[in-house]
A and B are shown apart, each in its own frame.
Chain A
Amino acid sequence: MTTNTSTKGPGRRALMKTSMGAGVALAAGSWTRPVRAQGKPTKLVYVGDNGPWHQCLVQEVAPAFEKEHGIKIDFTLLPIDALVARLKAELSSGAGAIDIVQWDASMAGWVSRHMQDHAKLLEQAASRHPDFDWADFLPRVQGMATYDGKLSGIPYRVTTGVLFYQQKLLEQAGFDKPPSNFAELLAAAQATTKQGLPHRYGFGVMGRQGPAMLGSFTPFLRSAGGHYYDPKTGEIFVNQPPAVEALQFYGDMMTKYKVMNPDSLTWEFDGIIAGGQNDQFAMTVTLAPYGEGMSDPKLSKTAGNWGWSLMPGKDSIKQTATYMAGWMLGVPEGAKHTDWSFEFIQMATSKKWLRRAIDLADAPPRVSVLEDPAVLAKHPWAPVLGESLKTAVLDHQDPVWSTAQLPLRTAISQVLLGQKTAKQAMDGCAVQWERSFRLAGMKG
């Protein structure tokens, strides 16, 4: 591939298309070749985020891979925004510099077209790894890694929102079971909100206007039977009664009943964990794997107090629903060492290594791991994760979702601050969405 930096315009465009075409051809041609025949690289470049669940990958899987095959894994782990910038730049330029991409479910709409067809990669590697057992991955999770009919990666981590509660506090307040609907939730929150210092409130949320916000609100929306919008038709549901009621209840907990921590407004992922560790709330709804952090006796005042259960439904537990998100490992189009990259991915997502990963802060999407009694004993939140996946609704993956989130976050923030009612806020959000959908060319 020659580089021609002096021309702009049509010359460059053609060059870009040719190089991408070459990449595709290379990838296509490598299907049928066995691994050993491809020229062996000295290292593979892995680009992902810097969440704390990478310990297994970086400190155990990669060295094991290096020992077996002599290939080093070069990890570049960035905060999510920098990761997005990097991937955007890298994948759009088609330079083929990344060997393994770690992408998040909500990026699927954009990232998927740059990824290879992993169903074909699995097929091709079947003889080498007969016990990989793709069926062991939860069907919902397989769906998460698929976009527009193409399997674009292998899932490595799956997260849903579940209810966390301090068992003793609830018992003391007269609740021997976790709340199963919104009314019970409110009652329990009121009973466990402590007056006077040090503060403890009944319910903590991630209320900062940012990427974490929906992690606390979406379970309420889903459990009330609400939806955001239909990506295919552009029909907007966010200002319909179920969604509005969910948001009104959510906001009332903060403004009317005052059972939510006021400083929730500044909390994102780290804030909710710190809040749990510091005994600032009795209950919360957040990502299941955060149970590890809150139960760590070295860091948490509340270690050993937590129980987990499904998100309460609006009227009954049968209505419970929450969101589903996660991270996938994938080989991009135009990657130079597809076979070796996929070899690493299969190793990392094998039964053996995913079982090890859950000990190191990951939330692996394999049934065999989540239902292993040894695992359940050590990680009591795991069965709830598995259970919640049955009714979890996958977060939007279409490209418009990232635009849609912004006015939505504003609306939730306005309600939590008491600036608007849920109806007013959601109507405002809907107006913005109509505009955005129109600009994006969506019908409806």
Chain B
Amino acid sequence: MNRNVIISFGFHTLLVIITAMSLPFLAKKPINLPPIISVELIQITDKTNIPFAPKAKKIIEKVKEKEKKLVSEQAPPKKIKKQKPDAVPLPDEKIEKIKKIKDEKQNPEKVESEIKQISEFEKKELFDTNSIAALIDKSKIESAKTNKKLDKVTQDQNKKMDSVGLTLSEEDALKAQIFGCWSIPLGLPFNEDLLVRIKLQLKPDGSIIKTEILDHARMNRPGQAFYKVLAESALRAIKLCQPLRVPSTGYERWKDMQLNFDAREMLEG
């Protein structure tokens, strides 16, 4: 009897320990991720990706250029990505943004007009170093708070995007880019199956590592010469377009991508 109680107690204790050890551990994992996620992600969904993508690309290129000078070319891309939030000169921008937000909230113009009209005595008080330090500290705390808030939002979004794929604006930006690069061969028979599926492997900057035509065997089938022509035109479009307009974050979710080139709509219409 006692033996059974001890065994039961032992197992239950073990279960409690496993639960206590493992569940918080699992829960902690995503919490460690936030520093990797850039604040820029919010701007993508809020504003649309098309105007944003070139800006992000420029920033990434700048960072890369800096790192190229310091590190060898074979430096792993992940490191670049991890350093990005630190290396990108965002803090100043953030402070500026926060100041703007802060200013908007506090109606700064009115405050400034009041300051202009104050006496010399009061001005001296304003230049008190302690108060300036306090203000800076306060702004630091506030900026940290804001960052935390922003980070929290991006983490949630990132979680959603991991499961969803590209956002509509991200997809639109990519489509718009490839539309411009794809010269559809006009001689194709419009009553045939004109769908070419190409799997891509991408670098973080959107350039192509590898392309693979998924229905490759069809290219050499008799009577399918047009398919080869179509597939080649799609490959040309991808090469012409690269680097592709991909999101600046979430590389893991879009590093492998499939593009379905379908010419029927254009040729029938």
Chain A complexes with chain B = no
